[in-house]
Chain A
């Protein structure tokens, strides 16, 4: 079954598209050139494409192929942006290099490798003329590495009403690295501590906002993390602190600000998180006044059922390709699924190459994974839109 599709898969095509995409820098905020490239490629494949400007100079790209009759709508979604270049690359991050069975380049893994496998599958569908029911579409979105504005914008279009989404993020569904049936939410605390200035030689006459911020930070383990049967517990990580003189002078600092990232499990809302932090601060009986604010981005947690039709189809497709059932898990992370599923209510499945050097120097993708991902994508789409 589906031989007509599978024999149209072209691994060399996938690698070529990956190399071309790595060569187009698309650090978050600069996705435009890659969006135009994808539109051009999908036009060549015969898809109906459009660009949609999310912010000035930053478009999402959409492409669709209609089946023989009306039916379910399946979308393959991928973020076009990469993180910025970090220090220490051995090669030029924008010149793809093949070495030891891997392809090195910024975004090769996260997630141009996934997009390349999607393009491979989309090409197989249009070239084979394989009959299917419903609609097969692609969405290339901006901003996943920052504030998720691309996925948020997608929800406002017709693609925000599809029945299911596949995200090509590096996720292998191997033992120990299951593909998520649920992802934590996230809130970014933005906390302002306000003390009283005084001469730094008589600190007792003032209230030191930095020292009181330090007390809050030292007590963060006392936040109340709800226990969830599948997620376990959330976590926190202080990301930034700033306070004190701009020009050196011995003054008790009157203000201090810090940010703490907190992942939320189902049952913990942003309001819960804020109240929890306020409770913690109150218990410390500080002399300062403390404002607990939050800062974008904010994401909802989500869970989908094992019995979801998309999951069942994925199960079959994956097992056929990999010779074993996929592993599922509950992730402490954030992807566009937080928006698409958490906000939009559309079930999502993640499948992509093995993560390696993601967000670090010398990011790469194992070339052996690409044909398997392309094949799994193809079987999943064919079965879902049968």
Chain B
């Protein structure tokens, strides 16, 4: 009975898992140790596990619990990597600290608490002996914070392409801070190379300064034509990197410069549209330099998901029961592996996880009060979706 599962949920267990996982740094590229930790946990619950090495020392982890009868296939997904620590922390980013009801550490909300709540729910399901038809699985993929080689590798596997639904345990908590996504923006990464003519830096008028021309483009990015969408509003852009100039000091007008801009796309804006838009902007600036614009991986088309999808209806019911109110929805600005799972492969996806705090920033945190309801929701979603009780 599902009540047996819910009784076995243990918030203190979840807290211990989060603390241990924050203490295993897993910055993009270094996911192996965390993957092995989670594998060991799932094996102890009785799940069948499998590692898929996407690159040396970088494995995806899959774990499966088969029901007694055939049925639907439901997967809970997370990414094992975090962004780097960065500057400005008040505490050690890899030594979890609880203060004022918040768990501080790199990955606290993005997304080791989602993993921990899933593990708590799965342990409760396995330990209670709760029966369900079909297949309940877990996937922990590498590289989501970079170029998604983990999710792409997962979708090469035929058995994963045949999933009926995926619950992404990212920190979308269904309130006004982070409504449940009914669709996600797409994304392109512009790589812009500016080439010009060198000259002695004391006679700049004899050359063309590639850094200054590149800066003119960056200063005018607000003139990109961001198409409005009835549900999404407009896309966004963000310059991520800029480099140009001497390697060893010398007074030379720089002949080359390069910068990268991240752009989120709304439905109606294709990757080609985005490329043409940047070309138009650059042309309008009448620069003397040569400018080459290329889309650098990773790139994603935007997608939308219907409220009538079974998994979406299941989430709606579970959320309302646990939280006492229906979730808020939106068409979200962000990229998750759902852009690949649903956007590319058409597998219905929902996102649900604890409320996030300062994701990607210094002093990232998750509020402890979110952990019990999320674990509860994960258990209820699995039960209702697989047993047909939605």
Number of A-B contacts (CB under 8 A): 166
8 pairs, CB–CB < 8 Å, chain A vs chain B: A199-B360, A211-B219, A214-B216, A215-B219, A240-B211, A244-B240, A249-B146, A359-B250
Closest Cβ of chain A: how far from B168's Cβ, in Å?
15
Indicate if the CB atoms of A240 and B215 lie closer than 8 Å: no
CB distance from A283 to the nearest CB of B (A): 14
B147/A248 in contact, CB under 8 A: yes
Residues of chain B within 8 A (CB-CB) of A254 are 87
A332 to B29, CA, bound (A): 50
Q: Is the Cβ of B245 less than 8 Å from the Cβ of A239? A: yes
CB-contacts of A213-245 with B (<8 A)? 213-215, 217-220, 235-245
User: Residues of B at under 8 Å CB distance from A?
Assistant: 27-29, 83-84, 86-88, 145-147, 185, 200-205, 209, 211-212, 214-221, 236-246, 248-254, 257, 259-260, 262, 264, 333-335, 359-362
Closest residue of chain B to A252 (Cβ to Cβ) is B238
Is B241 within 8 A of A218, CB to CB?
Answer: no
Q: Is A238 touching B202 in the complex (CB atoms < 8 A)? A: no
B-contact bits for A188-228, CB 8 A (1 contact / 0 none): 00000000011111111000101101110111100000000
Choose from A83, A214, A237, A334 the contact partner of B218 (Cβ within 8 Å): A214
Stretch at the interface among A121-129, A165-173, A255-263: A255-263
- Minimum CB–CB distance from A202 to chain B (whole Å) comes to 6
> Count of A residues near B, CB < 8 Å?
52
Shortest distance between the CB of B189 and any CB in chain A (Å): 9
* Contact A239 B201, CB 8 Å, known A250-B240, A251-B360: yes
Query: A217-B215, A218-B215, A247-B28 are contacts. A239–B251 as well, Cβ < 8 Å?
Result: yes
Nearest residue, chain A, Cβ from B147? A248
With a cutoff of 8 Å between Cβ atoms, the chain A residues found around residue B360 in the complex are 197-200, 249-251
Shortest CB distance B4–A (Å)? 39
Complex Cα–Cα for A83 and B215 (A): 29
Of A215, A248, A253, the most chain B CB neighbours within 10 A belong to A248
A84 lies within 8 A of chain B by Cβ: yes
Q: Which residues of chain A have a CB within 8 Å of any CB of chain B?
A: 83-84, 145-146, 184, 197-204, 208, 210-211, 213-215, 217-220, 235-254, 256, 258-259, 261, 263, 332-334, 359
Which of B27, B251, B259, B260 is close to A261, meaning CB atoms less than 8 Å apart?
B251
Q: How far is the CB of B340 from chain A (nearest CB, A)?
A: 16
Given contacts A208-B239, A238-B212, is CB(A244)–CB(B260) below 8 Å?
A: yes
Q: How far is the CA of A277 from the CA of B383 in the complex (A)?
A: 65
Tell me the smallest distance from the CB of B239 to a CB of chain A, in Å.
5
Docked-complex contact B257 and A249, CB < 8 angstroms: no
Q: Tell whether, in the assembled complex, residue B246 and residue A245 are in contact, meaning their CB atoms are under 8 Å apart.
A: no
B365 to A: closest C-beta gap in Å: 14
A146 to B237, CA, bound (A): 40
Q: Are B240 and A245 in contact (CB under 8 A)?
A: yes
Nearest-CB distance from B165 to chain A (Å)? 24
Known contacts A213-B215, A238-B209, A251-B83; decide if A203 and B236 are in contact (CB<8 Å): yes
**Which residues from A are CB-within-8-Å of B200?**
359
Check if B205 sits within 8 Å of A235, measured CB to CB: yes
Report Cα–Cα, A204/B83, bound state, in Å.
Answer: 19
A244 adjacent to B361 (CB under 8 Å): no
Bound Cα distance A218, B216 (Å) = 5
Q: Is the CB of B239 within 8 A of A83?
A: no
Tell me the complex Cα distance, A74–B260, Å.
56
